[in-house]
Amino acid sequence: MPTRLKIGENEAAWEGVQDFVERVADETPREAQPALLDALSELAEAAPQLAAAGVGAVTYETQIVDMINGVINTLPGGQVKFVFGLVENKRTGRPDLHLEAPNRTVLVEIRSSTKMLSPDSVEYLFRQINDLGEERPRPVAALLVTRTPLRPDAFDVLRGRHDVYYVHVKGAQDFDRLEKAIRNAVGLQLRT
């Protein structure tokens, strides 16, 4: 794989471009993902490894959404509703989806980046919670799901926050870990 990308007189590190494609894919709203996948398909003709970074991000998010839906289906009596994109605030945008539990709303942010999240990314999630908490009559919590572990300094930001839950999920093998995190976030105890 090349290490540099040259366009005219400008040159960029290939890894930086790949990170950018992955980040764009990670931040693309669900309703725009079909168009993104079409664009990545075109990119794959010229730069297959670059396009693969974006496709990997979309695939991871889809897998996590399917896993969350699977967890919700295991919960008793339809206590938790799975909702896409209906929670939004004007200052910080919207999470990937949210869960409506009996006593709270849980914002779910899925980060498919293969790079570790920074403390600023975690702080951004806190701003979403605070902003949405001001707009809603019921408590708001958040669940952060990441493809790679948090950096230690980002994990430190989470300590002491009772309204933010975190889980590192590599793939389907982590279903039980995701289920536990969802149950904690929505306030339901694990069945014994």
In the predicted structure, residue 175 carries a pLDDT above the cut 70: yes
* pLDDT tens figures, 146-169: 998 988 898 888 887 788 899 999
In a domain, 132, yes or no: yes
Q: What are the backbone angles phi and psi of residue 12, rounded to the nearest 5°?
A: -135, 155
Q: How far is residue 156 CA from its own chain's centroid?
A: 19
Looking at residue 86, its amino acid is L
Same domain, 92 and 163: yes
Q: pLDDT value at position 66?
A: 92
In a domain, 17, yes or no: yes
**Mean pLDDT over each residue of the chain, to the nearest integer:** 78
The enclosing domain of 70 has a CATH number of 3.40.1350.10
Strand positions, DSSP E, the chain: 4-7, 10-13, 81-84, 97-100, 105-111, 140-146, 164-168
CA distance 125 to 70: 24
CA distance 192 to 181: 16
In a domain, 44, yes or no: yes
In the predicted structure, residue 144 carries a pLDDT above the cut 70: yes
* pLDDT tens figures, 24-43: 777 777 777 778 778 878 88
Domain span including residue 105: 64-186
Same domain, 98 and 148: yes
Same domain, 109 and 38: no
Beta bridge partners of 6: 11
Boundary-marking domain end, from 23, 40, 60:
60
pTM of the model: 0.79
In a domain, 192, yes or no: no
CA distance 90 to 33: 22
* pLDDT tens figures, 51-80: 787 777 778 888 999 999 999 988 877 788
In a domain, 180, yes or no: yes
Same domain, 87 and 176: yes
Same domain, 50 and 78: no
Same domain, 79 and 141: yes
Q: Which structure tokens are listed for 166? A: 């975190």
In a domain, 191, yes or no: no
Same domain, 33 and 127: no
In the predicted structure, residue 185 carries a pLDDT above the cut 80: yes
Same domain, 73 and 133: yes
Tell me how many domains the chain contains. 2
